[in-house]
Chains A and B, each alone.
Chain A
């Protein structure tokens, strides 16, 4: 909720999903520019969502930022390897998250 508030305050349009499946549906329906993806999701976890998004060439423009409380280096490597563009570890500073999102979207042009 805080994340949604933060993004909206900074001028982004947001859709919130509460599970891996909901996330996949939302991606298919709304074609977002960027996904803030939590790893610990019920049933289909963030890694799998990441892999599925990357498998679909139509969604290759979608930027993925993994938001994780699992600080281990292995998770970060795994996430990036599965196609995430960036990661941010909880707890994070709002400014850092915004900077990362801005950077990724600017890159896209």
Chain B
């Protein structure tokens, strides 16, 4: 706009100058005319009439010369100065690495060079300040990392919300527990409790409102009655039909007002399912046993009450009793087997290689000089299920006792693994142990190096469902045999996620959101810096939505409180109804076969509508994308009535003197590195970064609310472009 204005004002300047010169010339001519005698006047008229073409030519040349001179001045001084003004502002507001091109007159070029030098210093200064800030932030970051790593590694899901229910912190586990994934996403569009987790989003999209309201009331009641236990617990359904146990923990301000609440979520689906199976088993068993007992009882009573029954009848009754006892026996066998497979008490036992366990035992014995344990027949490929520490301590205790009782110091140890059982053998040359001696030891607390531990030997053996007994071999050798559970070899070892400080940031938090008011229709008056934005981009079958071109990919990221939340993104391919144009495949590289199994536009737009709920939509050249959303959402009744901002229009507002406002040009101007250009998510990410850099430039122009930004965009020249 200023360029147009500048052109217009320069035209005015040219006209005024021309009129002024013309006026002066005409006044002189008139004065001269009046000073001449009539004869001289006639002579002049005659001369002018004869040489009119010369005079006219001279006039035109004079005007043209003046025009060229002024245009020269305009191009060399006026326009470059405009550009310099704009780009200097760009340097100190958005991109300190930007430098002015050395163009225009020598004076202008000198000015540009000086500004570039100043920019150099400015950038240097900025860098050193940034370095110092980074340094002092480092320690803070480290503390934050410890905090976030601990949160991320917790087996429980953690969600912290403002009192209005807006999420201000969550960990990855909470996302797993609450957010439907993959195939279930489609369903989540319709079913409640299938929403998205994200900073600034409402918890009510994930947890049923009445449930939360009830828990909040409960917490409130507990707080008011001054109870020490203020946590309210409830059960809820989580993502993919998980059963979650939730605890609501109030977070209080110093004045004991609710300033936030936390939800601690644990997945109890596994134990619940096991309990249900066990209950089912018990009921089945009870039913079979009742019917068997009823049969037996009635047969026995018949035999007792009617002693003169025929032999044939009696035989029938005896067979019935036999049949029912067999039934009862089978039911008992089934229950015993199924129960062991279903109900697994919590245990510290884990799968470990037999050889590794023997190594662990031998290491423990390193502290007992004189006591030797030689491996003999350890199954190298076998695995056992043990608590390595507890059982190694148990074995150490047994060997010390055998040493004291029998006086042997050299032991051989084998560990054979067969099917489901493993047998640990501790052998020595000497007399065998008596069972009653072992039973005495079992009752004693295990004492290692003079320190009694918290277990008895029996407790350790019971934890392992282990049986121990002595055995006397031939030729004076004796041994103790310890029967353990074998384990399946673990083909793939699943390591715990490594914890790396400083870079481990799987927790997303923004405590500023505590102060965020609820969203209202008065959005236009709200400062841009406070709003939540969904920046999105589409890839399409072609460039003409009106002629049936459709979306094939939709990508989006969120900006909340001025921060780009890269992990909260939407990235989805869309199956179009029509054909992909070859030109568009060349641009985005999405092939038709990649789209065959993808959801249709109706489903994806439904999900996207929920993703973008309550935010301002931002896109580059938004008119195009909004047109697509409108046309393709229509059949399913999906309407996007979010306010919209366009990075292209905002760029024309803040940099009117620049000729190009496409994504690459703006990115280069603002120092944004574009990754994954022409993927929907990559372009959305770039647009989001550009948008964040445009915000301070808008603010410098006095545009700080949503309404002002929208009005400025509307007035912009490009706003008339329609798709």
Cβ–Cβ contact B333 & A77, under 8 A = no
A82 within 8 A of B: yes
**Which of B329, B436, B439, B481 is in CB contact (< 8 Å) with A81?**
B481
B241 within 8 A of A: no
CA distance A48 to B470 in the complex (A): 11
Cβ–Cβ contact B483 & A74, under 8 A = yes
List of A residues within 8 angstroms of B336 by Cβ: 71
Cβ–Cβ contact B467 & A48, under 8 A = no
Cβ–Cβ contact B329 & A77, under 8 A = no
**Which of A47, A48, A71, A73 is in CB contact (< 8 Å) with B333?**
A71
Q: Given contacts A78-B469, A81-B481, A91-B325, are A73 and B421 in contact (CB under 8 A)?
A: yes
Which residues 15-63 of A have a CB within 8 angstroms of B? 44, 47-48, 51
List of A residues within 8 angstroms of B325 by Cβ: 91
Task: Mark contacts of B425-442 with chain A using CB atoms, 8 A cut-off: 1 yes-contact digit, 0 otherwise.
Answer: 000000000111001000
Cβ–Cβ contact B329 & A91, under 8 A = yes
Cβ–Cβ contact B333 & A78, under 8 A = no
Cβ–Cβ contact A74 & B329, under 8 A = no
Cβ–Cβ contact B467 & A75, under 8 A = yes
Report the minimal beta-carbon distance from A11 to chain B, rounded to whole angstroms. Answer: 22
**Which of B328, B466, B483 is in CB contact (< 8 Å) with A77?**
B483
Most chain A C-beta atoms within 10 Å of own C-beta, residue among B328, B329, B333, B467: B467
What number of B residues sit within 8 Å (CB to CB) of A?
20
If over half of A's interface residues share one DSSP class (helix, strand or loop), that class is named, otherwise mixed; here it is helix
**Which of A48, A73, A75, A91 is in CB contact (< 8 Å) with B435?**
A48
Q: Given contacts A71-B336, A74-B421, A91-B329, are A82 and B436 in contact (CB under 8 A)?
A: no
B471 within 8 A of A: yes
With both beta carbons as reference points, the residue of chain A lying nearest to B484 in the complex is identified as A74
List of A residues within 8 angstroms of B420 by Cβ: 73
**Which of A44, A47, A73, A91 is in CB contact (< 8 Å) with B469?**
A47
**Which of B328, B329, B465, B483 is in CB contact (< 8 Å) with A78?**
B483
Q: Given contacts A48-B435, A51-B434, A51-B435, are A81 and B469 in contact (CB under 8 A)?
A: yes
Which residues 445-472 of B have a CB within 8 angstroms of A? 465-467, 469-471
List of A residues within 8 angstroms of B333 by Cβ: 71
Cβ–Cβ contact A74 & B436, under 8 A = no
Cβ–Cβ contact A47 & B483, under 8 A = no
Task: Mark contacts of A68-103 with chain B using CB atoms, 8 A cut-off: 1 yes-contact digit, 0 otherwise.
Answer: 000101110110011000000001000000000000
CA distance A47 to B420 in the complex (A): 23
CA distance A104 to B302 in the complex (A): 38
With both beta carbons as reference points, the residue of chain A lying nearest to B481 in the complex is identified as A81
List of B residues within 8 angstroms of A48 by Cβ: 435-436, 439
CA distance A48 to B333 in the complex (A): 27
Report the minimal beta-carbon distance from A96 to chain B, rounded to whole angstroms. Answer: 12
With both beta carbons as reference points, the residue of chain A lying nearest to B466 in the complex is identified as A74
List of B residues within 8 angstroms of A81 by Cβ: 469, 471, 481
| A contacts, CB < 8 Å to B | 44, 47-48, 51, 71, 73-75, 77-78, 81-82, 91
Give 15 CB contacts A-B under 8 Å: A44-B436, A47-B435, A47-B469, A48-B435, A48-B439, A51-B435, A74-B465, A74-B466, A74-B483, A75-B467, A77-B467, A78-B467, A78-B483, A81-B481, A82-B435
| B contacts, CB < 8 Å to A | 325, 328-329, 333, 336, 420-421, 423, 434-436, 439, 465-467, 469-471, 481, 483
Known contacts A47-B435, A48-B439, A75-B467; 13 further A-B pairs (Cβ under 8 A): A47-B469, A51-B435, A73-B420, A73-B421, A74-B467, A74-B483, A77-B421, A77-B467, A78-B469, A81-B469, A81-B471, A81-B481, A82-B435
